[in-house]
Amino acid sequence: MGTVAALQTVGSTGGVSARAFKPLLREVSRSTPTCSDCTLRTHCVPAGLEQDTLGAFDRLRASRMRIKRGDTLYRATDRFTAVYAVRSGSCKTLILSEQGHEQVTGYHMPGEVVGLDGIDNGVHGCQVVALEDTEVCALPFEALERLAHDSTSFQHNMYRLLSREVARDHKTMLLLGSMRAEQRLAAFLLDLARRYQALGYSSCEFILRMTREEIGSFLGLKLETVSRLFSRFHHDGVIQVQGRVVKLLDRNALQRLVGAEP
Amino acid sequence: MGTVAALQTVGSTGGVSARAFKPLLREVSRSTPTCSDCTLRTHCVPAGLEQDTLGAFDRLRASRMRIKRGDTLYRATDRFTAVYAVRSGSCKTLILSEQGHEQVTGYHMPGEVVGLDGIDNGVHGCQVVALEDTEVCALPFEALERLAHDSTSFQHNMYRLLSREVARDHKTMLLLGSMRAEQRLAAFLLDLARRYQALGYSSCEFILRMTREEIGSFLGLKLETVSRLFSRFHHDGVIQVQGRVVKLLDRNALQRLVGAEP
DNA sequence: CGACTAGTTGAGGCCAGTCAATGTTGGTGG
DNA sequence: CCACCAACATTGACTGGCCTCAACTAGTCG
């Protein structure tokens, strides 16, 4: 019984949605690639680990999986067995309100980890959907706990990972609770730029992987408002935007917007 | 050198605000009380630990501290050395925007833990202010990490604690991002009721420890809006409200409000 | 090609914000 | 004890930012 079978079971027992019978996942390589070879190792879960702990990390035997654009990695209420590190591509995490309204809680790039909110009661709290064809590394949580037990430095890494997520969410709450629409979008663009830069990509020109509606969901705005703001920023010469291709022309202006009075 | 001295140092080196010279903390008892005696032990950090681990937990020598109403336990940018479990009373956590706008990120009751967002980079990410005279137990984080290393069940508890915070924050993001004002207040009241009930208090009658403005800050609303909503709920017979004394009369109605269409 | 999804833009409405006046509460000191 | 004050709360009138509804365009895919 491979990891994938188990995970597929999880996927199919979870949601009772229309897509219930569509296989969610497909394994890419059973020859589990090692973290110590990974180009992302300095940005991902094992960031900062000394060489010997990194070796132990390889023995986790994380299995890499491919998710096609629009497909779901797991749903809320699916059983929690692993967290997932984005290897390539990107995805969104979302929760559904009682009426099925979708709230995007985050966008995730390579090196980032999703699924941490499922640890508490062994059930996933959100749904993960790929924004483009995406590869993730499934890290069985029990194995992570064992590894954390053996290595205090990795244990500390795990705490930091969770703590960072909490701090990030608090910032998002500030955005949603006290910023006006244009401040939210400006903050969003600057955050994306910063993260692309951290990965070595251009920080002033990038492609949005999500729709206007998805951006709006994350920012607490309607898609028309997002679209209008893009047009306004473009008109004001702050950015260039052509569909999903965005170029930041005046980051100081964006920064000033974020820091402007209510 | 006691914990308190260290903590007071932290407090005074932290903020450069007007209150910088006002002593923030005062120790209540150097005779560190033990968790195994604590009436909150089943709701707090050591929840669910077996007896022998609980004994090890006592050796943490958590120091109990008293914070007066309106006083600050720590500020953002203070050095992170410990997390704090609320022993009695209640407090709010908040972050400040660039313009000094205050966003409340949470209200915390006995048994709940604050400070987890400081683990990542060793610096507190938010400020904690007591809403009433409050006692907290300072849990030195290094000691918690050592204990987690010795006890896998406690290690799991720590992960659950952090994970719960993440899941809670996601729910707040849903509230801020997709609910209208009356839904937000209804959800807020029901959440308070649930938590009071979990502590064994009345779940339908309680005293709000925060001002209308603070409620508004948490919910992304202005204080006038909060006040108007209280009046409306009262007028509609859903709640009784007299200043800060609230009585829930029709919880189903509140539930229906939360679950209503946008 | 037609159907569909994503995005843009305009017109109008409404919910929550803003400004302002007044009422209420709680703490302090004479 | 009461007077006083400051902080908190309520309520009204008005405004405006974002939502809603709708029409239209552009690109994609079977």
Residue B23 maps to which CATH number?
2.60.120.10
For residues A192 and A237, membership in a common domain is answered with: yes
pLDDT at B83: 97
What residue has its CA nearest to the C1' of C25?
Answer: B243
Å between CA of B105 and C1' of C22: 32
Chain B CB within 8 Å of residue A117 CB: yes
pLDDT at B11: 34
For residues A130 and A232, membership in a common domain is answered with: no
Instruction: Tell me the CB-side half-sphere exposure of residue B241, using CA atoms within 13 A.
Output: 20
> What span, in angstroms and rounded, lies between the C-alpha atoms of B60 and B255?
42
B178 backbone φψ class: left, alpha, beta (φ>0; ψ -120 to 50): alpha
* φ, ψ of residue B174 in degrees (nearest 5): -60, -45
Count how many domains chain A has.
2
| Mean pLDDT, range B82-101, rounded to an integer | 95
Of B125, B154, B171, which closes a domain? Answer: B171
Q: Give the gap in angstroms from C-alpha A77 to the nearest C-alpha of chain B.
A: 13
Q: Give the gap in angstroms from C-alpha A119 to the nearest C-alpha of chain B.
A: 6
Q: Is the pLDDT of residue B104 over 60?
A: yes
Chain B residues close to A170, C-beta within 8 Å: 95, 105, 117, 125-126, 169
| Residue A211 belongs to domain spanning | 179-258
Angle between helices B251-258 and B181-198 (to 10 degrees): 130
For residues B36 and B73, membership in a common domain is answered with: yes
Q: Is B72 helix (H, G, I), strand (E, B) or coil?
A: strand
pLDDT in tens, A56-99: 888 877 889 999 999 999 999 999 999 999 999 999 999 999 88
Whether B145 and A156 lie within 8 Å, measured CB to CB: yes
| Mean pLDDT, range A196-217, rounded to an integer | 96
| Mean pLDDT, range A232-254, rounded to an integer | 97
Strand stretches in A5-58, DSSP E: 26-29
The amino acid that residue B77 corresponds to is T
Task: Find residue B139's DSSP bridge partners.
Answer: B83
Of A150, A171, A192, which closes a domain? Answer: A171
pLDDT in tens, B148-188: 999 999 999 999 999 999 999 999 999 999 999 999 999 99
Of A171, A202, A227, which closes a domain? Answer: A171
Q: Is the pLDDT of residue A24 over 80?
A: no
For residues A160 and A220, membership in a common domain is answered with: no
Taking residue A68's Cβ as centre, other Cβ atoms within 10 Å add up to: 13
Comparing alpha-carbon positions, the chain B residue that sits nearest to A76 is B167
For residues A184 and A129, membership in a common domain is answered with: no
> What span, in angstroms and rounded, lies between the C-alpha atoms of B233 and B13?
45
Q: Under a CB-based contact definition with an 8 Å cutoff, are residues A151 and A80 in contact?
A: no
Whether B174 and A148 lie within 8 Å, measured CB to CB: no
> What 8-state DSSP symbol labels residue B23?
-
For residues A153 and A26, membership in a common domain is answered with: yes
For residues B143 and B189, membership in a common domain is answered with: no
Chain B residues close to A179, C-beta within 8 Å: 97
| Mean pLDDT, range B221-234, rounded to an integer | 98
Please, what sign has the CA dihedral across residues A159, A165, A168, A174?
Answer: negative
Q: For chain A, how are helix, strand and coil distributed in percent, rounded to 5? A: 40, 20, 35
CATH of residue A216: 1.10.10.10
